[in-house]
Amino acid sequence: DAGVIQSPRHEVTEMGQEVTLRCKPISGHDYLFWYRQTMMRGLELLIYFNNNVPIDDSGMPEDRFSAKMPNASFSTLKIQPSEPRDSAVYFCASSFSGVETQYFGPGTRLLVL
């Protein structure tokens, strides 16, 4: 298996623009997690899905952030409009039946100017 795939790997955008991050989980995994990593706040769980359904989005910072999982093999995290404080590395992870082992993607490094 290719592991968790994220795209793009790097994104540079200007404040106010829409940003869409993409994730393909490992085939057969039924949980998908979105994390954000910054120097100031470390690793934060933003949202997670089970069988394509959002279960807990309490970590989503504000209404500018939204996440979808239209099918078992694809998820998006969208920021609209983006702000400089959104600059971070965003990780997607997937697991089979929950927390036992989460497999992380390589991350998307986002810079908002």
Partner 1 sequence: AQSVTQLDSHVSVSEGTPVLLRCNYSSSYSPSLFWYVQHPNKGLQLLLKYTSAATLVKGINGFEAEFKKSETSFHLTKPSAHMSDAAEYFCSIEGDSSYKLIFGSGTRLLVRP
Q: How far is CA 43 from the centre of its chain?
A: 12
Strands 31-38 and 88-95: antiparallel
Q: Whose Cβ is closer to partner 1: residue 76's or residue 81's? A: 76
How far is residue 77's CA from residue 56's CA, in Å, rounded to a whole number?
14
- Closest approach of partner 1 to the CB of residue 16, in Å: 27
- Closest approach of partner 1 to the CB of residue 52, in Å: 15
- Closest approach of partner 1 to the CB of residue 78, in Å: 21
Which amino acid appears at position 11 of this protein? E
- Closest approach of partner 1 to the CB of residue 109, in Å: 8
How far is residue 60's CA from residue 58's CA, in Å, rounded to a whole number?
6
Q: Whose Cβ is closer to partner 1: residue 10's or residue 83's? A: 10
Query: Under the rule (CB under 8 A), what is the footprint of partner 1?
Result: 4, 31, 33, 42-43, 45, 48, 50, 55-56, 91, 93, 95, 98-107
Q: Whose Cβ is closer to partner 1: residue 74's or residue 96's? A: 96
Strands 65-71 and 108-112: unpaired
How far is residue 95's CA from residue 84's CA, in Å, rounded to a whole number?
31
